[in-house]
Amino acid sequence: MAEKEVIETSEAQIAVHWKEEGYYYPSTDFIAQANMSCESVYDRFSLDNFPNCFKEYADLLDWDEYWHTILDTSDAPCWKWFVGGKINASYNCVDRHLAKNKNKTAIHYVPEPLDEKYEHITYQELYVRVNEMAALLRDFGGLKAGDRVTLHLPMGPELPITMLACARLGVIHSQVFGGFSGKAAADRVVDSGSNILITQDAYYRSGKLLDHKKKSDEAVALAAKEGQKVDKVLVWQRYPGKYSAATPMVDGRDYFVNDVLKDYYGKRIDPVPMNAEDPLFLMYTSGTTGKPKGCQHSIGGYLAYVAGTSKYVQDIHPEDVYWCMADIGWITGHSYIVYGPLALCASTVIYEGVPTYPDAGRSWRIAQDLDVNIFHTAPTAIRALRKLGPDEPAKYDYQFKHMTTVGEPIEPEVWKWYHKEVGKGKAIIVDTWWQTETGGFLCSTLPAIKPMKPGSAGPGMPGIHPIIYDDEGKELPRGAGIAGNICIQNPWPGAFQTIWGDRDRFVDTYYARYCKDPNSKNWQDWPYLTGDAAVEAEDGYYRILGRIDDVINVSGHRLGTKEIESAALVAVEVAEAAVVPMKHEIKGVEPDLYVSLKPGYEASDELAKKISGVIVEEIGAIARPRNVWIVPDMPKTRSGKIMRRVLGAISNKTNVGDVMTLANPEIVTEVTKMVQG
């Protein structure tokens, strides 16, 4: 008790009011088939056994030369894993499976239009296509190990084929999310120093064939202004042999990949043995300020980590059909559509389009058609599916054994719908907390070992040892009931190596805050700052409250935006909720609440009052929102995250800034009109 009182005086505390949910247990059937069902894994991966425990993950891979040093800390905090090892990621994801599984489907591709057939690409076909593309990149593109190439590809098999072709040569790929603008692509071309840009002419989204090629013209022009010349633009065609974009091809610069590939028919390229710590790819992520950060991921450490976590957390077996609905343009897609599953010789599903196109049953029909049994998506998609078709899953004959949620905290109400309706009460759920920077999962339950708890990500992964600090750097013990800054005490193989070209920013952003000695070469002195706020329950489960910046301080009480939003979702009418701080003379700030409703419900003053009442009931009067704005939709990023910054600007009548990269910029005008009159 005494300990708790001391901690409660800290500035770092966030009042955590939300109730602990009860446990849900995996079925005996699930446990019987699980890849990891032995508790002792947590001992094997304890801090005492660090870093040697990660040999287990490295041994899931085939090495051209085995490594000699598991962790080299001499350049702290730029850690090097599996030093001395030589390896090729393309070989590990393709070639090594041929002997036994050349005939197995590697990729099930589902085009968005209903009248187009699914494509099933075997490992043999993947091998052929990756080799021919690698030959093209090397001999036509002039690319060699260590060069960077920017990809701006939509969801289709060409994307992993291009990634694996790069990996085969040791070329560092930097894929830009297809939905991003030409400007975003240009920024990444410049930062990474790419002189080749690989794109596609067009792709489907919500029934429309979008001209994607025009973005590359914009990207090339903008990059040139910044001094980065793009020599070649390689254009895959959505329909090989037919050009589906309106923008003209530029002579001597733009080439159709399908045409050029004909010159490389039958070519085989030996996978280049790379150093384990050479970079595999860059993945740009935006912070709250400044230009996007190019997170540099290694070959050996990253691949070992995503293979291990795909096996033990995703529980992928050779006979499973695995569908992760993320876009490959995000880290989730890199780690858990492409590299992790393919390293395990899985069958992975790639869907081109929108999960609710042309209706809310589409996703479940895909699951039924392919007999998908492992499903992976984000709370934003779950909320959308729940909003548009709460009763749809029951209409289709599929059964998931396993489901994942990733990307933001999931409200317990939404979790329960996912479990009951999508999982039909049988699938286990893992809530995986991690980041672009971390390569793979940080916290999650191991599905056959730890029970689930709605709203909690669970304990640290084996070999990941989280710690929560307050603002003074004092450790907050488990069960303290207050939240702080969650850090990871130790390095792990999946962690990014640095920010491309900006080591100082890397150290400042992620390590400076709690570093015990900047000259130290001991990993113990360098806790990794995730930038998230979290609370650790008595049972060692972590509940993530969101980014540290998303905390609202009302009259000196720090409230997590997520807990207020979760409370709003207790009202049955509410589909989505977003809370923003609104300036108040006395309280500092007050929460201002935005909600959207499930179909069939109408906005009214009574309903707004009811929602406000639910929040007071769940959390207390301190959290009572100033207003409850019932809006038709939330402003969202292309990856589906609600843009609280934009809503905050609307509430506070400040500049909303550039909203053109949002998925739905038009909603900003509409909401502004509603709020500001």
The piece of 251-259, 496-504, 540-548, 606-614 that touches ligand WTA (CB under 6 A) is: 540-548
Q: How far is the CB of 536 from ligand WTA (least distance, A)?
A: 14
Q: Contacting ligand WTA (CB under 6 A), which of 95, 320, 431, 565?
A: 431
When the beta carbons of 216 and 498 are compared against ligand WTA, the nearer one is: 498
Which CB sits closer to ligand WTA, 10 or 285? 285
Kindly give the residue spans of alpha helices, DSSP state H, lying in 170-266.
182-192, 213-225, 257-261
Round to whole Å and give the CA distance between 94 and 168: 10
* Piece of 46-54, 383-391, 406-414, 596-604 that binds ligand WTA (CB under 6 A): 406-414
Residue 95 structure tokens: 């070639």
What minimum distance in Å lies between the beta carbon of 374 and ligand WTA?
Answer: 17
| Of 409 and 493, CB closest to ligand WTA | 409
How many whole angstroms separate alpha carbon 338 and alpha carbon 259?
26
Helix (H) or strand (E) holding 63, with range, is none
CB of 331 vs ligand WTA, minimal distance in Å? 5
The three-state secondary structure class of 198 is strand
| Binds ligand WTA (CB under 6 A): choice among 143, 544, 646, 667 | 544
The correct pick among 406, 564, 568, 662 for binding ligand WTA (CB under 6 A) is 406
Helices 605-618, 561-568: inter-axial angle, 10-degree rounding: 120
Distance (Å, whole) CA 4 – CA 181: 49
Which of 435, 485, 566, 596 is in the footprint of ligand WTA by CB under 6 A?
435
Instruction: Please choose, out of 112-120, 400-408, 571-579, 592-600, the segment that lies near ligand WTA by the rule CB under 6 A.
Output: 400-408
For ligand WTA, give the closer residue by CB, 105 or 380. Answer: 380
Query: What is the C-alpha separation between 139 and 128, in angstroms, rounded?
Result: 16
Residues touching ligand WTA, count (CB under 6 A): 20
Strand order through the sheet with 466-469: 466-469, 484-488, 528-536, 542-547
Task: State which of residues 407, 412, 494, 625 lies at the interface with ligand WTA (CB under 6 A).
Answer: 407
CB count within 10 Å of CB 406 equals 23
Q: Nearest distance from residue 453's CB to ligand WTA, in Å?
A: 12
172-175 vs 148-152, strand pairing mode:
parallel
Q: How far apart are CA 672 and CA 667, in angstroms?
A: 8
> According to the binding rule CB under 6 A, does residue 370 interact with ligand WTA?
no
For the chain, what is the largest distance between any 2 Cα atoms, rounded to a whole number of angstroms?
A: 75
Q: How many CB atoms lie within 10 A of CB 598?
A: 15
285 binds ligand WTA (CB under 6 A): yes
Nearest position to ligand WTA, beta carbon: 436
**Alpha carbon distance, N-terminus to C-terminus of the chain:** 51
Site for ligand WTA (CB under 6 A): which residue of 315, 320, 408, 592? Answer: 408
Scan for tokens 């792709």, then name that residue: 203
Where does this chain touch ligand WTA (CB under 6 A) — which range of 19-27, 166-174, 366-374, 401-409?
401-409
Site string for ligand WTA, 160-199 (x = CB under 6 A): ----------------------------------------
Residues 304-333 that bind ligand WTA (CB under 6 A): 331-332
- Provide the minimum distance between the beta carbon of 410 and ligand WTA in the complex, in angstroms, as a whole number: 7
**566 scored as a contact of ligand WTA (CB under 6 A):** no
Least distance between ligand WTA and beta carbon 281 (Å):
14
Q: Are 199 and 215 spatial neighbours (Cβ–Cβ below 8 Å)?
A: yes
Distance of CA 173 to the CA centre of its chain: 17
Binders of ligand WTA among 328-357, rule CB under 6 A?
331-332
**C-alpha gyration radius of the chain:** 24
Q: With contact defined as beta carbons under 8 Å apart, do 524 and 488 qualify?
A: no
Q: Is 673 exposed, middle or buried (0-12, 13-18, 19+ CB in 10 A)?
A: exposed
Among 214, 291, 416, 547, binds ligand WTA (CB under 6 A): 547
Contact range with ligand WTA by CB under 6 A, out of 102-110, 308-316, 343-351, 428-436: 428-436
Q: Which stretch binds ligand WTA (CB under 6 A): 61-69, 144-152, 315-323, 433-441?
A: 433-441
Stretch 507-536: interaction string toward ligand WTA, x if CB under 6 A? -----------------------xxx----
Compute CA distances 492 → 44, 450, 636, whole Å. 15, 22, 32
How many other CB atoms are found less than 10 A from the CB of residue 397? 9
CA dihedral angle for residue 546, residue 549, residue 551, residue 552, rounded to 10 degrees: -150
CB of 223 or CB of 446, closer to ligand WTA: 446
Residue with token string 């570093």: 515
Looking at beta carbons only, is 73 or 432 nearer to ligand WTA?
Answer: 432
CB atoms within 10 A of CB 547: 17
Instruction: Select the residue interacting with ligand WTA from 432, 566, 612, 637 (CB under 6 A).
Output: 432
Q: Name the minimum Å distance from CB 661 to ligand WTA.
A: 15
Q: 3-state DSSP call for residue 570?
A: coil
Binding interface with ligand WTA (CB under 6 A): 285, 331-332, 406-409, 431-436, 457, 530-532, 544, 546-547
